[in-house]
Amino acid sequence: MLSQQVKDYLQANRQRHLEELLPLLRIASVSSQPACQPACRQCAELLAGQLGQLGFDAQLRPWRDHPLVLARRAADRQGAPTVLLYGHYDVQPPEPLELWQSPPFEPVVREGKIFTRGASDDKGQLFAMLKAVEALQACDRPLPNLIVLLEGEEEIGSPDLERFLTGARRELAADYAIICDSAFFAPGLPSLTYGLRGLVYVEIAMRGPAADLHSGTHGGAAPNPLNAMVALLAALQDAQGRVTLPGFYDAVVPLTLQERQAWRKLPFDPQAYAALLGTQPTGGERGVDLLERRWARPTLDFHGIVGGYQGPGAKTVIPAAVSAKVSCRLVANQQAGQVVKSFRQFVAAHTPPGIRSEIQVLSESLPVLVPLDSPAMAAAAGALYEAFGRKAVFVREGASVPISELFQRILGIQPVLMGFGLPDDNLHSPNEKLELEQYYGGIVAVAAVLSNLAGKDSLAGKRG
């Protein structure tokens, strides 16, 4: 429970908390654009400065193109647990600029929403964590040991972050991890994301003739690697939309009755979803519920096939080589390494005479499935109730959130995803916004969860 004093403090400081967010939003920290490198550094420095003012030992860690911000603050109490807070200060490119109603890096409040690139993803959410710490400190409330990790390359896929975490494993040892970089399932409905899908993304290459050949002169004799590729890919999925890799589904954790019932109560409208897609949601496995297919079942998707002729009109070419980009989303407890191994065997077994094949793994991440009944989840659910006055729903997400999987796999911490954006925040689109009530509520929620966790004992002794 958050003390009335902290609640009053937060209520009284709303305007200042908004104003202090603006300088951060004005910095064009687009990690994918090399010209923004100074802006990214400026962002990291600003945040390290603010953390310093809150009593953190804050450092910039140079890492690839944009520095990581790493800050620690010890609790007063011996034996207090350690909480790792994560956010990212880099943002998506603002383009296409002409679709913005106001310039993307000039934050403007209209109708209770603040519009800028990065408002919801993720500057507003990460700044709320800092303001929550400020409030507890100002009101002399106990805090846990805190580690803050702010990343500057999330929007370019956190390249090489795994290596950083592996190297900093001891430094980052924590009991709990809180990630504010997600959204409510629906307006007014606070949400805790307890499941994320993993990913195996491979590129399969096939070579046939030494050079592109004329399909008239050599058709029927020269083995066509695109024909072979199509046969291989088609064999990966059956008529029911199930993946045919041997043992693929063996480790899949089935949906519990409880989950199934809870999901049926979510305000999810299949009609509206079909309208969003622009077609019927007929992908994936036949006869499986829609949300289950998106959240709790693995998938197979082909993303593109390179090679041959792709210009306008006809060219009668037998390509020398082609490659296909293929991925599977994974769910708990599928092992990415095992799926990669199955892919390798499958490709070798489906390479016909006259064709050579190879497979390259482009991306590999584990699914995340956090227990619903953990103390951290209970603390987060209580905090969201305090902040937003409504019981949180437990949801999953079909995409991967790489940092969650890395926290789980490298640091051994089950992350709590308690973001407070809304589904219509236009995260990667023009006119990104964050609703002010979500921002203020988010500060309350983080303050509450930190208060809740501060009273627990460190699990450090129990960790291996």
Instruction: Say whether residue 396 binds a second copy (CB under 8 A).
Output: no
Shorter beta-carbon distance to a second copy: residue 352 or 430: 352
CA neighbours within 13 Å on the CB side: how many for 312?
A: 0
- Which segment (61-69, 164-172, 254-262, 305-313) binds a second copy by CB under 8 A? 305-313
Q: Residue 216 or 464: which CB sits closer to a second copy?
A: 216
Judged by CB under 8 A, the chain residues 306 through 335 that form the site for a second copy are 306-310, 313-320, 325, 327, 329
Give yes or no for residue 283 binding a second copy (CB under 8 A): yes
Residue 291 — φ and ψ, nearest 5°?
-65, -35
**Could you say which residues in the range 343-362 bind a second copy, by CB under 8 A?**
352-356, 362
Going by C-alpha positions, the residue among 244, 464, 264 that lies closest to residue 349 is 244
**Is residue 235 within the footprint of a second copy (CB under 8 A)?**
yes
Taking CB under 8 A as the binding criterion, the range among 56-64, 283-291, 338-346, 447-455 that sits at the site for a second copy is: 283-291
The DSSP annotation for 341-380 comes to HHHHHHHHHT--TT-EEEEEEEEEE--EE--TTSHHHHHH
Output the smallest distance, CB 201 to a second copy, in A.
5
For residues 288 and 246, what is the distance between their CA atoms, to the nearest angstrom? Answer: 20
Q: Which helix (H) or strand (E) holds 37?
A: helix 37-53
128 and 447 Cβ atoms separated by less than 8 Å: no
Tell me which residues in 176-215 interact with a second copy (CB under 8 A): 197, 199, 201, 203, 207-211, 213-215
Q: Select 113 or 242, whichever has its Cβ closest to a second copy.
A: 242
Q: Does residue 305 interact with a second copy by CB under 8 A?
A: yes
Interacting residue with a second copy among 16, 303, 390, 391 (CB under 8 A): 303
Residue 432 in contact with a second copy, rule: CB under 8 A: no
The smaller minimum CB distance to a second copy, of residues 209 and 382, is found at 209
Closest CB to a second copy among residues 60, 427: 427
Residue 120 interacts with a second copy (CB under 8 A): yes or no: no
Q: Scanning residues 53 to 82, which ones bind a second copy (CB under 8 A)? A: none
Q: Does 4 bind a second copy (CB under 8 A)?
A: no
User: What is the spatial distance between Cα 132 and Cα 442, in angstroms, rounded to a whole number?
Assistant: 9
Task: Tell me how many residues contact a second copy (CB under 8 A).
Answer: 78
Choices 94-102, 136-144, 298-306, 332-340 (CB under 8 A): range interacting with a second copy: 298-306
Residue 378 gets the label, from left (phi > 0), alpha (psi -120 to 50) or beta, of alpha
List phi, psi (to 5°) of 403: -65, -35
Classified as helix, coil or strand, 256 is coil
Q: How far is the CB of 360 from a second copy (least distance, A)?
A: 10
User: Should residue 264 be labelled a site residue for a second copy when binding is judged by CB under 8 A?
Assistant: no
H or E, element range at 324:
strand 321-330
As a whole number of angstroms, the distance between CA 351 and CA 233 comes to 11
Residue 176 and residue 416 in contact, taking contact as beta carbons nearer than 8 Å: yes
**Residue closer to a second copy (CB basis): 42 or 120:** 120
User: Which amino acid belongs to residue 111?
Assistant: E
Contact assessment for residue 29 and residue 122, using Cβ atoms and an 8 Å cutoff: no
Structure tokens that stand for 183 in this block: 């959204």
Stretch that binds a second copy, among 82-90, 261-269, 295-303, 442-450 (CB under 8 A): 295-303
- Within 355-394, the residues that bind a second copy by CB under 8 A are 355-356, 362-363
> Which of these segments, 23-31, 87-95, 275-283, 367-375, binds a second copy (CB under 8 A)?
275-283
Q: Interface with a second copy includes 97 (CB under 8 A)?
A: no
Q: Where are the beta strands (DSSP E) in 142-278?
A: 145-151, 176-179, 191-196, 198-207, 213-214
Q: Rounded to whole angstroms, how far apart are CA atoms 215 and 221? A: 9
Decide: 120 and 55 in contact? Cβ < 8 Å.
no
